[in-house]
Amino acid sequence: MVDHDLLDHRLADVGIQGIARNWLCSFISGRGQRVALGREMSSRHSLVCGVPQDAILSPMLFNIFMCPLAQIIRSFGLGCHQYADDIQLYLLMDGHTNSAPNTLTRCLEAVAGWFRGSRLKVNPSKTEVLWLGRDGMGMRDQLPSLAGAQLVPLPSVKSLGVILDASLSMEAQVTATAKATFFHLRRIKQLVPYLSRPDLATVIHATVISRLDYCNSLYAELPLKLSQKLQRVQNAAARLLTGSLPREHIHPVLFKLHWLPVEYRVRFKVLLLTFKSLHGLGPSYLRDRLSWYAPRRASRSINNNTLVVPGPKEVDWLQPEPGPFQLWLRPGGTLCLMRPGPCRI
């Protein structure tokens, strides 16, 4: 859906000129496609839009094409994160279910107009709304519309593979992860007689452990009943890999494999993200929310390299304007996530 003429103009807008711009234009232009069905082949059709799939340059070109959208969104006072064709909008409200702010309505109208002007399609049927707070269903008749379709709040949505619910309890995400990993463990168990120990370890890491580790920083401070669900998955994977019996204690098995328990893997991920953010290796939006602890008077804790822990009332979120909305937008549809004040993540 990336229009070649519009992409050419946006390459110039970001400062790509001269030979580099001509080279990129020649990379995307002059391409065609055919359809093969059995022995029949259609005539060649020239392409005036789109970037080649699986090309290294294609994601970069797509991000350049979508760049103006973030500027439009931020001009209305909303926060915005972009990841490929997922664009997340954040608008903090005061938690009251009176009405959606006019800025949100005008922003959605501007976004829909930008999509039309960029020859992209907004698919309201793929729009998902999540109100993070109480009385989310009370907003059902008060949310703005997008491209003529009324937005409706949902009990949970999926963002980049993570299921978020209205209370941010992570229960739906943990349950889905445990279900998927146990399914793979049952399938892997059938392959145990045919795989060597290193190959079995590779399969378990690729299909089970990777799912436990994906975005596991969100599992920090989970209730015990949820963290135990994930720990049972790791225990089952360790027993399958080592051939341990169910009655054997699991700690020596995990120690032998050099596997940290799930709780400590989560702590390690949080500490790693913190270290990277403090040293310029992580995202800036995390670094902006970290500050070193400086006691008001001289004490022994001044050199402990500790960070400030914000209280529940020390929260400005992404922008000063009230409103609980976070929205994800895609070229093929829009995903919205809403969040009320007065606290922030």
Please check whether residue 319 is in contact with residue 79, taking contact to mean a CB–CB distance below 8 angstroms.
yes
Tell me how long the chain is: 345
Identify which of 5, 111, 118, 10 has the alpha carbon closest to the alpha carbon of residue 60.
10
CA distances from 97 to 90, 107, 325 (A): 17, 19, 12
Q: Which residue has the higher pLDDT, 16 or 339?
A: 16
pLDDT of residue 185: 95
pLDDT of residue 142: 66
Token pair 């903090």: residue: 92
Q: What is d(CA 65, CA 88) in angstroms, rounded to the nearest whole number? A: 17
Span 114-128, mean pLDDT?
Answer: 83
| Residue 340 dihedral angles phi and psi, to the nearest 5° | -90, 160
pLDDT of residue 288: 84
pTM for the predicted model, two decimal places: 0.74
283: Cβ–Cβ under 8 A, 6 or more apart, which residues? 277
Mean model confidence pLDDT for the chain: 81
pLDDT of residue 129: 78
CA distances from 181 to 37, 187, 196, 234 (A): 39, 10, 21, 9
Give the percent of the chain with pLDDT over 90.
30
Token pair 């491209």: residue: 147
Residue 26's pLDDT band (cuts 50, 70, 90)? confident
Q: What is the CB neighbour count within 10 angstroms for residue 47? A: 15
Q: Per-residue pLDDT for 266 more than 60?
A: yes
pLDDT tens digits, residue range 277-301?
888 888 887 888 888 877 777 766 5
Lowest mean pLDDT among 18-22, 215-219, 290-294, 341-345: 341-345
pLDDT of residue 141: 60
Q: What is d(CA 315, CA 339) in angstroms, rounded to the nearest whole number? A: 13
Residue environment code for 282-316, b if the CB has 16+ CB neighbours within 10 A, otherwise e: beeeebeeeeeeeeeeeeeeeeeeeeeeeeeeeee
Please check whether residue 158 is in contact with residue 136, taking contact to mean a CB–CB distance below 8 angstroms.
no
Lowest mean pLDDT among 39-53, 106-120, 309-323, 328-342: 328-342
**DSSP at 291:** -
Question: In this structure, which amino acid lies at residue 314?
Answer: E
Residue 336's pLDDT band (cuts 50, 70, 90)? very low
Residue 140's pLDDT band (cuts 50, 70, 90)? low
Please check whether residue 273 is in contact with residue 282, taking contact to mean a CB–CB distance below 8 angstroms.
yes
pLDDT tens digits, residue range 47-105?
888 888 888 888 888 888 888 888 899 888 888 888 777 777 877 766 555 556 678 88
Q: Per-residue pLDDT for 331 more than 50?
A: no
Identify which of 275, 292, 169, 288 has the alpha carbon closest to the alpha carbon of residue 221.
169
Alpha helices of 205-300 — where are they, by DSSP H?
A: 210-213, 224-242, 250-257, 262-278, 284-287
Q: What is d(CA 171, CA 31) in angstroms, rounded to the nearest whole number? A: 47
Q: Per-residue pLDDT for 241 more than 50?
A: yes
Span 263-274, mean pLDDT?
Answer: 91
pLDDT tens digits, residue range 179-207?
999 999 999 999 999 999 999 999 999 99
Span 140-155, mean pLDDT?
Answer: 74
Please check whether residue 119 is in contact with residue 6, taking contact to mean a CB–CB distance below 8 angstroms.
yes
pLDDT of residue 302: 63
Span 227-254, mean pLDDT?
Answer: 92
pLDDT tens digits, residue range 199-233?
999 999 999 999 999 999 999 989 999 999 999 99
